[in-house]
Amino acid sequence: MTSLDLGRLQKALAVEAERGFADLIGKQYRFSEFLCLSFGKPPVALPLDERQRWQEIAAQFAKYPELPLEERQHLVAEARRCVYHTQRYQRGDNVTKQSTKERSPHSTKTKLPPTTPLVQPLQTEAAIRIAPYLEQPLKSLPEVGVRRSGYLAKLGLYTVRDVLFYYPRDHIDYARQVNIKELQAGETVTLLGTVKRCTCFNSPRNPKLTILELVLKDNTGQIRINRFFAGARYGHRGWQEQQKRRYPVGAVVAASGLVKESKYGLTLEDPEIEVLAHPGDTIDSLTIGRVVPVYALTEGVGADMVRKAVTAALPACVHLKDPLPFRLRDKYGLMELKAAIANIHFPSDSTSLEVARRRLVFDEFFYLQLGLLQRQHKARQIQNGAILARTGKLIQTFYQLLPFELTNAQSRVVNDILDDLQKTVPMNRLVQGDVGSGKTVVAVIAILAAIQSGYQAALMAPTEVLAEQHYRKLVSWFNLLHLPVELLTGSTKTAKRRQIHAQLETGELPLLVGTHALIQEKVNFQRLGLVVIDEQHRFGVGQRAQLQQKGESPHVLTMTATPIPRTLALTLHGDLDVSQIDELPPGRQQIQTTVLSAKERSHAYDLINREIAQGRQTYIVLPLVEESEKLDVRAAVEEHQRLQESIFPQYQVGLLHGRMSSVDKDTAIHQFRDNQTQILVSTTVIEVGVDVPNATVMMIENAERFGLSQLHQLRGRVGRGAAKSYCLLMSNSKAETALSRLKVLEQSQDGFFISEMDMRFRGPGEVLGTRQSGLPDFTLASLVEDQEVLELARAAAETVIELDATLERWRLMKAELEYRYQKLMGGAILT
């Protein structure tokens, strides 16, 4: 048997594996018949034991049609290894000899020759599952080889396992076969036709472009399709004549592609083409007439190269052990792992693809949730948290000072927190609440619980404006309680900074409010018992951890005024206890929100004039113009000047932007708060933290540039007093999508609904702010489309942790969890 025949044999084995071990019917023989005949005539030059091995495999293929699926998979894998060894033997490679007993196709536990992976396997219990054949280097696969493996390494693909778990980013469905008359633009289809005409020529406009043009016909009509080849080598007459011979008149052709309009009528865009022996012939292509995987690529690595590597690796699926126990898979209706991997790459139809994708999406969510819940379980084993009293004079006095009663939602969340503070397990709770729901009051009660128990507290906010706003509000309450409180930011003077450091170390200062300045090395608390972090998603994991390390296992309360959809909360905060303040204090009015075009600007200015005439005030907010802060500042300064001189010369117009000094920012906010300026032109620095009850109009320029959650935050700056308030969303966009997004704000005041819609429009990373969102990288899973699967994965992970948080009874699952966190997430989520 020649090396060419061996290559043909490998291709037959690869196609059988890729088509689901169905004993395909070829042009002359069934797959099993072809293999039985081929292995029955081993190469004469082989050693006796190798020839015997070929004969044994031939005998097995005689029984192939009766074998169950798993035995067929093992037999095909064994046959491929046998051919591979023969190819190496013929090339003169030093093939490691194995005993016939070890390699017998009767055994389901076949062994491979030892290999040296390009990347050493992780030194964890993942070795339980990652067998040598899965860690086999790609270069050892005959279909890949050394040269192609070098290119595939650019995609991070080094081993068989890497390729199997390199999921397609998309699929194109060419499985639907139609007649030419049934073609419709925009569909992806496969058609069968005979060649009526074939021409191959150089483009008259570009001599370096060669065009292959085929006219195909069936009994319903005809179609003209083109393929384009760029490069001088395709311009030679010899190559062009070869193409014509490849597609002779009368040849039967299968073609797949996207149907689109052309000046000659409907055609297929960049089609895949294969010549068949007759209309009912088997299509051997990896793309034509099937659901085709689309992979992320890089320079020098084409789609065909990745598809062929996947096809070569697919037989190794039989060696994958499923870490999820059968009962769990059965309960949640999940496909077995090896079948899911095979079908995510080359599904037989769209239904198989959907079922396979659901299983692999479940895995991505499940191991994330398992890791978060395991971390939560470990945290709850710590028993050295401060026990804080839930009642006392300070809290009672504070309740008496409040001019209002807590809402039911606030009372519920306060009880959650005070219950946590009485445990030796440190609290780790997130409080979500819409704009104006009263999160600060809840945080103050927790802070007072710490202080009256003899501990100190720290409150960290992401911006100076927000930190100063918290400080002012706390000072007004703490003065009445005769308690000191200080503010520490980047702008705090050196002398004052030293004084604060000293008072913290002696314990004289019970509460410190600040920005990132709180995590500096010189900031040392004598007895830190509670950490409060506001707008916590704006801080990195490391920054939050640094503040916690200022004390010995302090209780942690995090807050956010940016409502997060449940799917995002589970993904980011799956290890936290979550409380929601889901009702607004009585008296808060709905804010009338209107989307206005540039033509309706005069209506906006009329409203502003009317409101200011009644003694009210207005915010005018400008969007981010460029990534350059200087350009934003210039735009803000120019707009401020235009409004002051041309539009509202009768009023005082203030200016606030991010590059102003702290003193200037404070002055601008104070002047607006005291009604010395009636209009405040600002960048998004006022998104949180500015509280002026007299402001009744929020006008936002170029509103389409903001996310819905951010617009909702800005809208929350008004409506804080008794008067009716307005939010005007100015937009120059005519795009239907942009306007439909803004209409959501006209229709709803519910922050959780708005954030859900925002995530659907923009994606989770944009909703959170991509820099510090902390989102793990999902290969297949979508937090928008796969919410139901995430909920199931969470429930499954909770069940597993309840039964055995150490995962010792599920060693494969434990190994997979370790492997995923190390390889896919870099361990960051376990920090």
Residue-level pLDDT at 104: 35
| Domain assignment of residue 33, yes or no | yes
Ranked by mean pLDDT, the top range of 107-111, 213-217, 667-671, 744-748 is: 213-217
Is-contact 362 335, C-beta < 8 A? no
Helix axes 3-18, 31-39, angle to 10 degrees: 150
Distances (CA, A) of 189 to 156, 255, 340, 345, 643: 32, 8, 25, 19, 58
Closest by CA position to 555, among listed 674, 419, 648, 669: 419
More confident residue, 695 or 540: 695
| Domain assignment of residue 362, yes or no | no
Mean pLDDT of the chain: 81
Is-contact 54 84, C-beta < 8 A? no
Same domain, 528 and 617: no
C-alpha R_g of the chain: 34
Work out the average pLDDT over 589-598.
Answer: 89
| Domain assignment of residue 342, yes or no | no
Residue-level pLDDT at 127: 33
Q: Are strands 528-534 and 456-460 parallel, antiparallel or unpaired?
A: parallel
One-letter amino acid for residue 113 of the chain: P
Work out the average pLDDT over 167-186.
Answer: 83
| Domain assignment of residue 587, yes or no | no
Same domain, 606 and 557: no
Whether the per-residue pLDDT at 346 is higher than 90: the answer is no
Consecutive H or E run containing 259:
strand 252-262
Same domain, 552 and 606: no
> Could you say which of 289, 307, 329 is where a domain stops?
289
Identify the bridge partners of residue 211 per DSSP, sorted by sequence position: 201, 228
Confidence of residue 236 (pLDDT cuts 50, 70, 90): confident
Lookup: tokens for 589: 């009015």
Task: Give the least confident one: 181-185, 280-284, 502-506, 626-630.
Answer: 626-630
Consecutive H or E run containing 16:
helix 3-18
Identify the bridge partners of residue 429 per DSSP, sorted by sequence position: 557, 577
CATH number of 546's domain? 3.40.50.300
| Domain assignment of residue 567, yes or no | yes
Confidence of residue 122 (pLDDT cuts 50, 70, 90): very low
- Angle ∠(537,538,539) on CA atoms, nearest 5: 90
| Residue-number span of the structural domain to which 83 is assigned | 3-103
Same domain, 567 and 631: no
Residue-level pLDDT at 726: 95
Q: How far apart are CA 253 and CA 217, in angstroms?
A: 10
CATH number of 267's domain? 2.40.50.140
Residue-level pLDDT at 44: 75
Task: Give the least confident one: 97-111, 168-182, 201-215, 579-593.
Answer: 97-111
Confidence of residue 277 (pLDDT cuts 50, 70, 90): low
Residue-level pLDDT at 456: 93
Residue-level pLDDT at 452: 92
Task: Give the least confident one: 78-87, 233-242, 619-628, 661-670.
Answer: 619-628
Q: How far apart are CA 531 and CA 529, in angstroms?
A: 7
CA terminus-to-terminus distance, the chain? 58
What are the strands of the beta sheet with 726-730, ordered from one edge?
592-596, 726-730, 695-700, 617-621, 679-682, 653-656
Is-contact 197 173, C-beta < 8 A? no
Lookup: tokens for 607: 């409203």
Helix axes 31-39, 48-62, angle to 10 degrees: 160
> Could you say which of 63, 78, 103 is where a domain stops?
103
Task: Give the least confident one: 315-319, 456-460, 540-544.
Answer: 540-544
Cβ-count burial 342-368 (b if 16+ within 10 Å, e if not): bbbbbbbeeebbebbbbbbbbbbbbbb
Counting the structural domains of the chain, the total is 4
Residue-level pLDDT at 385: 67
Confidence of residue 823 (pLDDT cuts 50, 70, 90): low
Distances (CA, A) of 188 to 97, 291, 637: 49, 10, 53
Closest by CA position to 63, among listed 47, 74, 52: 74
Work out the average pLDDT over 636-651.
Answer: 90
SS3 at position 529: strand
Closest by CA position to 442, among listed 480, 478, 399: 399
Same domain, 402 and 530: yes
Same domain, 596 and 515: no
- pLDDT single digits (tens) 744-772: 998 888 877 887 788 777 766 665 554 44
- Angle ∠(356,308,210) on CA atoms, nearest 5: 120
Confidence of residue 325 (pLDDT cuts 50, 70, 90): very high
Q: How far apart are CA 271 and CA 258, in angstroms?
A: 8
Same domain, 576 and 699: no
Confidence of residue 102 (pLDDT cuts 50, 70, 90): very low
Is-contact 689 469, C-beta < 8 A? yes
Confidence of residue 797 (pLDDT cuts 50, 70, 90): very high
Share of the chain above pLDDT 90, in %: 30
Lookup: tokens for 682: 């600002």
Residue-level pLDDT at 288: 62
Residue-level pLDDT at 195: 93
Q: How far apart are CA 750 and CA 684, in angstroms?
A: 21
Whether the per-residue pLDDT at 129 is higher than 70: the answer is no
Half-sphere exposure of 381 (CA within 13 A, CB side): 8
Same domain, 49 and 194: no
| Domain assignment of residue 806, yes or no | no
> Could you say which of 700, 722, 748 is where a domain stops?
748
| Domain assignment of residue 554, yes or no | yes
| Domain assignment of residue 272, yes or no | yes
Residue-level pLDDT at 696: 94
Confidence of residue 610 (pLDDT cuts 50, 70, 90): very high
Same domain, 211 and 86: no
Work out the average pLDDT over 483-496.
Answer: 91
Task: Give the least confident one: 214-223, 314-323, 417-426, 680-689.
Answer: 680-689
Same domain, 599 and 716: yes
Residue-level pLDDT at 417: 94
**Dihedrals phi, psi of 211, to nearest 5 degrees:** -120, 125
Closest by CA position to 517, among listed 473, 478, 451, 467: 467
Work out the average pLDDT over 481-497.
Answer: 91
Confidence of residue 535 (pLDDT cuts 50, 70, 90): confident
Same domain, 551 and 428: yes
Closest by CA position to 776, among listed 823, 812, 813: 823
Same domain, 503 and 462: yes
Q: How far apart are CA 660 and CA 321, in angstroms?
A: 60
Lookup: tokens for 644: 């002051």
Ranked by mean pLDDT, the top range of 34-43, 103-112, 361-370 is: 361-370
pTM of the model: 0.63
Confidence of residue 279 (pLDDT cuts 50, 70, 90): low
One-letter amino acid for residue 49 of the chain: D
Confidence of residue 799 (pLDDT cuts 50, 70, 90): very high
